[in-house]
A and B are shown apart, each in its own frame.
Chain A
Amino acid sequence: MLLEVRDLRVEFQTRDGLVQAVNGVSYTVEAGETLAVLGESGSGKSVTAQAVMGIIDSPPGRIAGGEVRFQGRDLLTMRAEERRRVRGDRIAMIFQDALSALNPVLTVGFQLGEMFRVHRGASRAEARARAIELMERVRIPAAKERVNDYPHQFSGGMRQRIMIAMALALEPELIIADEPTTALDVTVQAQVMDLLDELQREYRMGLILITHDLGVVAGVADQIAVMYAGRIVETAPVHELYRRPAHPYTKGLLESIPRLDHKGGELRAIRGLPPNLARIPAGCPYHPRCPLARDVCRENPRPPLYEVGPGRASACHFWKETMGE
């Protein structure tokens, strides 16, 4: 087991009161496996990743409970200095918008080389040489000339490649990619995803791919976890989930994908909005938007994660109906 997140809870103190951004999330990632975490904005998918990474802004954020076991050791109880050494070295993160995630006033060579300087004690010249190697590794043309360029001098796709190179630098066991292609053009998205997929296979890294794009997920993920209102509502191997979703929310998401063979028809969106995380409804948090909702859904306790098949779980009282339809 590479990573095991167990019953993770994260809260934020805001003006609206205590926001429960992550509410008992559990998942596992094996070496070489890709877990896609799917969900709308505010579903807690990024916050979960930040908690694993140890980069939650605190205050206002606070980890209220749970465990994050990485190679058997709980990251949450580690000393700060020990935790820092894991970050970037054993677990690395790729952020969404490379333009703002890279430092605008430092050259990409410096920012890449910094990984070797800090974690490996490399010399300046050595770090530079490794930075060029990395840029070549992610197929940036003319890496030698461009190593002294600044982030704004690269195109969006090239910048995201640099982000990937930075995460890859020390060959970590786990990479967390937080919407790595959202800020890119569709054609560039595919290139970047292919690159990430290829590198992951080559290094046999675990990958957590956070996204709201079902199209991105299908090609690369092994396992999917669908999140809603700070909880996992369904987990399944990727193809089974696409074929037969076991939660009405997943089903709604799949039905809302525009399809070429339904040209001209109206898009089928899920009605309503995700709940305010400071006031999550009682019972199943999805019930106000759910076409299957009945009385039992509006009452506590919330539906547990029912085991609905091998490696599959759904937090819906009516998973049988959902799957059977």
Chain B
Amino acid sequence: MGRYVIRRLLQMIPVFVGATFLIFLMVYALGDPVTALFGDRGPDPATAAALRAEFNLDKPVWQQYLLYMGKIFTGDFGTAFNGEPVTDLMGRAFPISARLMLVAIVFEILLGITLGVITGLRRGRSLDTSVLVLTLVVIAIPTFVLGTTLQYFLGVEFGWIDPAVSPEGRFRELIVPGLILSLVSLAYVTRLTRTSVAENVRADYVRTAVAKGLPRRRVTVRHLLRNSLIPVVTYLGADIGNLMAGAIVTERIFNIQGVGYQLFQGILRQNSPTVVGFVVVLVLIFLLANLLVDLLYAVLDPRIRYA
């Protein structure tokens, strides 16, 4: 197991380098951030040259990349063009996004797994069919449509929630946005749980558990669920990546000043240090989450052993 983890960590290095270099190329090489900074008026050549020198923009791309990565490992993500250190932006944005993601994952676990278990145990009944149709509808409708609709009705028409989230991004305000963010994954979790439960409920070991004279509750929780939830838990782990991507849309709808919001602003204003910095951290989170999922898999299913 230890050797497996080390190997996986080593494998992350080329993935990390490749992913960040691509981002770096796209952001730095394909647009001139200094020109963008000055907008339509065009910069004064001396100032522009000074800025280029300050941000190493006068050097070849590979050199820029190495210099940038070197600084990152000392914890210096550079400064945004407005003079604020990128790490400060991250310090504000990541906790808010983390809260949003937490709300979304709680919805997925509570609602998704509950619905999945109920429908899986009652396959073919009317409740099962209705939930199945509903999940299809949710998957088919884009997040921004559902999000803005709900925002309009709950926030504007009924006034139950604030249509926009405050810069602090408190939990209370993030409940509806978190639900919106979770919806598509929620639908997948429901379907995955349902299939898994329905498959396992006919398994021999469940029949054995019944034949042992165990109470129905124990058969379901200890024997059936323990097995059925293995794919669901690993899906939830991998879903962190999906939620990060989805958060860009959701945060934009509800004006949540999290990672997605900062990234969006950064891209709009060609604020390269912000964009690259945030993406580097996201890539890291994604890689670590994936490793965690694989390790979790071995914990949940004793038949899987990594060597």
Contacts and interface: CB of A to CB of B under 8 A. Distances in A.
Contacts of B218: 118
Given A57-B202, A150-B302, A150-B303, A103 B215 contact: no
B226 interface: yes
25 contacts: A84-B213, A87-B210, A87-B212, A87-B213, A88-B212, A88-B213, A88-B214, A92-B212, A93-B208, A97-B204, A101-B204, A103-B205, A103-B208, A103-B223, A103-B226, A103-B227, A104-B301, A104-B302, A105-B303, A106-B223, A106-B226, A118-B218, A119-B213, A150-B302, A150-B303
Contacts of B215: 84, 118
Interface string A92-103: 110101001111
A101 B208 CA distance: 6
A95 B214 contact: no
Contacts of A53: 211
A115 B218 CA distance: 12
A196 B211 CA distance: 19
A166 interface: yes
Dominant SS among interface residues on chain B:
helix
Contacts of B203: 100
Given A105-B226, A106-B226, A114 B205 contact: no
A152 B303 contact: yes
A111 B162 CA distance: 52
A85 interface: yes
Nearest to B230: A105
Which 3 residue pairs of A and B lie closest in terms of their CB atoms, listed nearest first? A88-B213, A87-B213, A100-B204
Nearest to A110: B222
Given A84-B215, A89-B213, A102 B300 contact: no
Contacts of A296: none
Nearest to B216: A84
A55 interface: yes
Contacts, number: 72
A29 to B, nearest CB: 18
A278 interface: no
Interface string B220-239: 00110011001000000000
Interface residues of B, number: 23
A89 B215 CA distance: 13
B213 A102 contact: no
A118 B213 contact: yes
B207 interface: yes
Given A150-B303, A152-B303, A101 B205 contact: yes
B289 interface: no
Contact of A55 (B211, B230, B302): B211
B212 A114 contact: yes
A102 B226 contact: no
B293 interface: no
A174 to B, nearest CB: 13
Nearest to A90: B213
A86 interface: yes
Contacts of A114: 212, 214
Interface string B288-307: 00000000000011110000
A105 B212 contact: no
Contacts of B204: 95, 97, 100-101
A102 to B, nearest CB: 6
A103 B230 CA distance: 14
A85 to B, nearest CB: 6
Contact of B214 (A101, A118, A150): A118
B62 to A, nearest CB: 49
B214 A103 contact: no
Contacts of B210: 55, 87
Interface in B265-307: 300-303
B69 interface: no
A193 B300 CA distance: 35
Interface in A110-157: 114-115, 118-119, 150, 152
B214 A105 contact: no
Contacts of B226: 103, 105-106
A104 B205 contact: yes
A100 B303 CA distance: 13
Contact of B208 (A95, A119, A152): A95
Interface string B138-159: 0000000000000000000000
Contacts of A57: 202
B222 to A, nearest CB: 8
Nearest to B224: A103
Most buried by B among A84, A86, A115: A84
Interface string B103-129: 000000000000000000000000000
Nearest to B209: A103
A88 B218 CA distance: 14
A105 B228 CA distance: 11
Given A85-B213, A103-B205, A115-B212, 19 more contacts: A57-B202, A84-B215, A86-B213, A87-B210, A87-B212, A88-B214, A92-B212, A93-B208, A95-B204, A95-B207, A101-B204, A101-B205, A102-B208, A103-B226, A104-B303, A105-B226, A106-B222, A118-B212, A150-B302
Contacts of A118: 212-215, 218
A87 B210 CA distance: 8
Nearest to B202: A57
Contacts of B207: 55, 95, 101
B153 to A, nearest CB: 42
A87 B209 CA distance: 10
B211 A93 contact: yes
